Amino acid sequence: MTRLDTFLLLLLAGIGWACGFALIGLAVFKGLPEDHAAAAVFGGFGFVAGLLLAALRLAMAQQLPRLLSRSLRQDKATPPVEALDAAHASAFGA
C-alpha cells in the first residue's frame, strides 16, 4: 500500500465519520439556535475518531505492534526474526 493510498483511506474514513457525527449533532440539537455549531463540534470529533480507528486498523494489518514488541524484546546479539505472513499470523504471537 502506497502512502497516497494510506492517506486517502484515512481521509475518507475521517470524512465518513465526520458526516455521521455531524448528523447526530444536528438531530440531537434540532431546533436550537446553535445547532450548526454543535454539528461542527460533533463532526470534528467524528473526523478525529475516524482517523484514529482507521490508523489503528492499518497498524494492526501491517503487524506493527507485534514487530515493535518483538524488536524491543530481542537481544542485540541475536539476528532479527522475520515476520510471518498475514495468513499465518496469530494474535498471541505464535
> Which pLDDT tens digit goes with each residue over 29-58?
988 888 889 999 999 999 999 999 998 888
pTM: 0.64
Q: Flag whether pLDDT at 61 surpasses 70.
A: yes
Q: List the chain domain ranges.
A: 3-73
Helix, coil or strand: residue 9 = helix
Average pLDDT over residues 59-85: 67
In degrees, rounded to 5, the angle at the alpha carbon of residue 82 between the alpha carbons of residues 78 and 88 is 135
Q: Flag whether pLDDT at 15 surpasses 80.
A: yes
Task: Give percent above pLDDT 90 in the chain.
Answer: 35
